[in-house]
Structure 1
Amino acid sequence: MLSKPESACFVIADISGYTGFLAGVELEHAQDIIADVMDTMVRRLRPPFRLAKFEGDAAFFYAVADKVDGSALQDAVEAAYFAFRKRLRNISQSTSCACNACNRMQDLDLKFVCHHGEFIKQKMSGRDELAGRDVILVHRLLKNGVNERLGGHAYVLYSDPCIRAMGIDPTAQGLVEHRESIDIIGEVTCWVCDLEAAWQQENDRQINQVTREAAAAVIEFDIAAPRPAVWEHFTQPGLRPKWRAADEVRETSQSGRRGVGTVNHCMHGPHAIIEEVLDWRPFDYLTISTLLPMPDAPKVIMSYAFLEGKPGATHIEIRLARPKPKDQAFLDHVGAEFQKTITAEIEKLRQMLEGQDGAPAAVEEPMLPVPAERFLTQPARTNLPT
C-alpha cells in the first residue's frame, strides 16, 4: 500500500561555524565538543519533537500535528538554544585544555528553520525516511539571506505555513518578515526571531523562584517521562484539564505567547482559581501566584521545579513560599487539602504519561552521539603545530 501523507511541523537545527571550527583543530577534542553540545540541544527538543536523523552538522526533527501550540514551539526552540549556549559556557569554564578546539568552541552557534507541511514515509536501507515537497523546502530554507540582516547572529526562521499552523500574530511577538526565493518552489514568506537577542534577554531577566531552602513546604513527585512532556501538561491550557480538577483553563496573554504576565482562569463550575505567571523558564521551572475563590484568601506564591530524575524521568518539586504572618492561618487551613488534591492529580498524570511511554515509535530514532567528556578535565594530546 502507498504511504498516506501526514501533516507535521519540521525543525532543522544547524550548527553555524562548523566547517571553520574543524579546520586546523584537534579532531578528537573537536568531536567531543560537537557531540556534547549536539546531545544537549537534541535532548531539549525531544519531546515534543522526534529526531528523524542527523545530517552532518545538523539535526532534522518533526512532530506529527495539524496544528501547533505556538508558545510551546517557540519555548522548545529557545530552550534548546539556551541550553546549547549554557553548555558551551560551562565547558569553557571547566576545561583546563588550551588546544585550538577548546579555545575556539565559542565560535560555534546555532540556527533553526521551522516549517509546517506534509510528508510521506518511505523505506530506505531498512529505516523510514521522510519525503515530500515540504521536506525539501525546509532543507532549502537553510540556505537563506538572514545572516546578512542579523550580522551572523543565531536565529530561528519560521515559514509562513508554520506561523499559520501556530496560530500566532508574528508582528505582535516581535518577529520580522523575511522573504526567500526558492528555485522551482518560488517565493516563500518567512518570519525571523533573533536568538542572540533572546539569549541576552534571558541572561538579563530577573529570577523569581521559590528555592527549596526558602520554601515553607515542598511537595515532591517522580514521573517516568521527559521534562518537556511533563512541562507541557503543566502549562498548556488544553492539556491541564485532562489531569487536574478543572473544567477548563482560560488563558490570557498580551502578546499571545505564554510566559511572564500570562493569567490563567482555572474554571471549576462558576468559580475560578486565578493564576498569574511570575517567572517562566522552560523546561526548568515556573513561578505563579494563585488566588483561590474563597473569602479573604491571600495570593499564594509557588514554584513548580522540573528536575532531571532517573534517565528519561522527571522529579517535580512544588515549592510553596513562606506566607506573611497574617496569612499563616489560611495556609495552614488549606495546605493539607491542597497536598491531598495535587497528589491525586499527579497520580492521574503519571498514569497518562507513563502509559504513553510504551507506545510504539513512529520511526526508529538515531542514537545520540556520545561525548567522551575527556576535554572537561584533560588537555588534548596532539601533534598539531603550535
Structure 2
Amino acid sequence: MSNSLLFIPDISGYTQFVQTTEVAHSQHVIAELLEILIKANTQKLRLAEVEGDALFFYKDGEVPSQEKLLAQIETMFTAFYSHLKLLEKNRVCPCNACATAPNLQLKIIAHCGELQFITVQNKSKPFGQVVIEAHRLLKNSISSNNYVLLSEDLSNVIGIPYHYKSQLFDFSTNGDVYDGKNIRYSFSEMDKKKLKLTSYETPYEVQFTGSPGLVIEKDYKVPAQELLEYITNYSYRHHWVKGVDEFEYNPEEVTRLGTEHVCVIDGKRLNFTTVTKTVQSGHLVYGEYTTDIPVIDSIHQFYIIIPTSENSCSLIMELYPQAKSIFKKIMLHLVMKRAFRKSIKVSLNNLESYINSK
C-alpha cells in the first residue's frame, strides 16, 4: 500500500480562550477560523473530522511534494493570522473573547503512513496506528504554540532535510516517546512577520463636520458592555426594534466593522453595514449605515453607550440623515425626523422592557 498524508491544523490556546472568555463569542471566533483554514486547503485534502479546535485532513494514497506541502502550510498560516488581524482591526465588541482572539495561535501536525478505514453511519473515516500517531504528535515537548511539525516518516518521504532552512522555515529535530515508541520529528516555529499577511484598511470609520440631525438619550439599568451585546447581537433585534418584519444576518459571525445585515420592512429590504466613529475614551460605540431608506439618500445611526456605574449606563442615539435634493430635504425636515424620533423611542423602550424580562 502507498503512503497517505495526515494533516492536522490545531488552534492553540483554545481551551484557555473558551474557559476565560464569553462562550458564545469565542465559539463564533473559533468557527470562523476553522472555516478560514478549510478555505485555505489548496491541495484538495479531504476533511475527515472537525475536532473541536482542530481539523483532521488526509490525502489517501498520496503525499504532496515537498514544495506543495510547504506551500500548503504557508497558505494556512497566512490565512489564519490574516483573519486574526482582521478581527483585531475591525473589532466592535469589547468582550474578552473578541479582545483576546488575536492571541490565538496555530500549529500544524503532518504525518504519513498506510491508512486504514472504518465505516461509521455509512461514512468512511481514517483509522489505525498512523492516525493514532498523528494525534499523539499534537502532545509534544515543543515549548511554542506556533509551529509546523513534520514527522520523520513524512520528512523521509518528501525528501526534506532535518535542518531545512528557508526564508520562512527553520527546522530543528526533536522526538518524544508515545506508548513506548520514540517518534522523531522536525519542527519549525513560524515567524508571523515573515508571512505576507493580507493588508486591511478601515473604510468603515466615518467622520462628520456637522452635528447629528437627531439625538435621543435614554438610561438603562444594565452594564454598558451588556447593553452593547443586546444592540449588536442581531438575534435579539426582533425583540425590540419597531416595525421590522424580519432580520437577515450571519448567525455564525461576531458583529464587527463591515458586518452586514438586512431589515425587511413591508417586503422592502434595507441593507445595513456596520460602521464606527471616534468617541470619548471609555465610551462604547456601534454604528450602522444604509442607503436604502425611501425619500432620503442615506443615513448613519450610532449607539453611543456611556457607563454611569457598574450596573448602569446611558445610551445616546445619534442620526446623521443625508438628503441632497430640495424635495428630500423638505421631506426630511417636515416628516422623516418626526417619524424617526417616534420609531426610535418606541424601540428603545422595547429594548428596556426586553432587557428587564431577561
Matched with 1:301 is: none
Paired residue type of 2:150 = Y
Counterpart selection for 2:96 from 80, 89, 100: 100
After TM superposition, what 4+ stretches of structure 1 lie above 6 angstroms from structure 2? Answer: none
Provide Cα deviations, 1:103-130, integer angstroms capped at 9, x if missing partner.
Answer: 1101211111110101111111221111
Q: Distance in 2 between matches of 1:372 and 1:67?
A: 34
Partners in 2 of 1:11 and 1:145 — Cα distance?
19
The C-alpha deviation readout for 1:22-57, integer Å capped at 9, x for no partner, is 124222211211111111112112533111111111
Aligned-partner residue type, residue 376 of structure 1: R
Residue 336 of structure 2: aligned partner: none
Aligned to 1:133: 129
RMSD of aligned C-alpha atoms?
2.3
Q: What's 1:110 paired with?
A: 106
Distance 1:67 1:52 in 2: 16
- Whether the 8 Å CA contact 2:60–2:115 is kept in 1: the answer is no
Task: Provide the C-alpha distance between the structure 2 equivalents of 1:53 and 1:78, rounded to a whole number of angstroms.
Answer: 22
Identity %: 28
SS for the counterpart of 1:106 is helix
Q: Residue 7 of structure 2 aligns to a residue in which SS?
A: strand
Q: Which residue of 1 aligns with 2:78?
A: 82
Residue 66 of structure 1 contacts residue 165 of structure 1 at CA under 8 Å; is this kept in 2? Answer: no
In 2, are the aligned partners of 1:35 and 1:371 still within 8 Å (CA)? no
Whole-Å separation in 1 of the counterparts to 2:251 and 2:142: 31
Partner of 1:191 in structure 2?
186
1:374 counterpart (254, 260, 265) = 254
**1-side partners of 2:77 and 2:120: how far apart?**
31
State how far apart, in whole Å, the 2-side matches of 1:64 and 1:75 are.
19
Supply the distance in 2 between the matched residues of 1:75 and 1:183 (Cα, whole angstroms). Answer: 32
Structure 2 partner of 1:121? 117
What is the aligned counterpart of 1:158 among 150, 158, 182?
Answer: 150
Larger Rg: 2
Q: Deviations over 1:234-266 (max 9, x none)?
A: xxxxxxxxxxxxxxxxxxxxxxxxxxxxxxxxx
Instruction: Name the CA distance, whole Å, in 2 between partners of 1:69 and 1:96.
Output: 42
Distance 1:128 1:6, change over 3 A: farther
Matches of 1:140 and 1:175, distance apart in 2: 20
SS in 2 for 1:373: coil
2:2 and 2:251 map into 1 onto residues whose CA distance is: 35
Q: CA deviation at 1:371?
A: 6.3
Alignment CA distance shift 1:122-1:6 (3 Å): farther
Equivalence map 1:160-309=2 (5 Å): 160-173=152-165, 174-184=170-180, 186-195=181-190, 197=191, 199-203=192-196
Distance 1:183 1:372 in 2: 39
Q: Given residue 255 of structure 2, which amino acid in structure 1 is its aligned partner?
A: F
Tell me which of the two structures has the higher relative contact order, counting C-alpha pairs closer than 8 angstroms and 6 or more residues apart. Answer: 1
Q: For 2:29 and 2:35, how far apart are their aligned partners in 1?
A: 10
Q: CA deviation at 1:140?
A: 0.6
1:323-347, Cα deviation, whole Å (9 max, x unpaired): xxxxxxxxxxxxxxxxxxxxxxxxx
2:18 maps to what in 1?
22
Per-residue displacement from partner, 1:204-246 (whole Å, max 9, x unpaired)? Answer: 9xxxxxxxxxxxxxxxxxxxxxxxxxxxxxxxxxxxxxxxxxx
Three-state SS of the structure 2 residue aligned to 1:376 is coil
3-state SS of paired residue (1:9): strand
CA contact (8 A) 1:45 1:77 kept: no
Q: Give the Cα separation in 1 of the matches to 2:66 and 2:56.
A: 19
Any conservation in 2 of the 1:119–1:135 contact (CA below 8 Å)?
yes
- TM-score normalized by the length of structure 1: 0.50
Q: Secondary structure at the residue paired with 2:150?
A: strand
CA distance in structure 2 between the aligned counterparts of 1:105 and 1:142, rounded to whole angstroms = 21
Alpha-carbon distance, 1:169 to partner: 2.0
Letter of the 1:158 counterpart: L
Find the residue that maps to 2:140 and give its secondary structure.
Answer: coil
Q: Decide whether the 8 Å contact of 1:68 with 1:165 is kept in 2.
A: no
Q: CA deviation at 1:171?
A: 1.9
Partners of 2:77 and 2:164 lie apart in 1 by 22
Pair 1:134–1:68, CA change in 2 (3 A): same
Verify the 8 A CA contact 1:21 1:107 in the aligned structure 2: no
2:46 and 2:159 map into 1 onto residues whose CA distance is 22
Matches within 5 A, 1:296-335: none
Name the SS of the counterpart of 1:97 in structure 2. coil
Deviations 1:300-328, CA, capped at 9 Å, x for gaps: xxxxxxxxxxxxxxxxxxxxxxxxxxxxx
Task: Indicate conservation of the 8 Å contact 2:29/2:254, yes or no.
Answer: no
Structure 1 stretches lacking a partner, 5+ long? 205-369
Instruction: Decide whether the 8 Å contact of 1:29 with 1:375 is kept in 2.
Output: no
The answer for the alignment partner of 1:51 in structure 2 is: 47
- 2:139 corresponding residue in structure 1: 143
Shift in Å, 1:203: 4.9
> What TM-score does the superposition give when structure 2 sets the normalisation length?
0.54
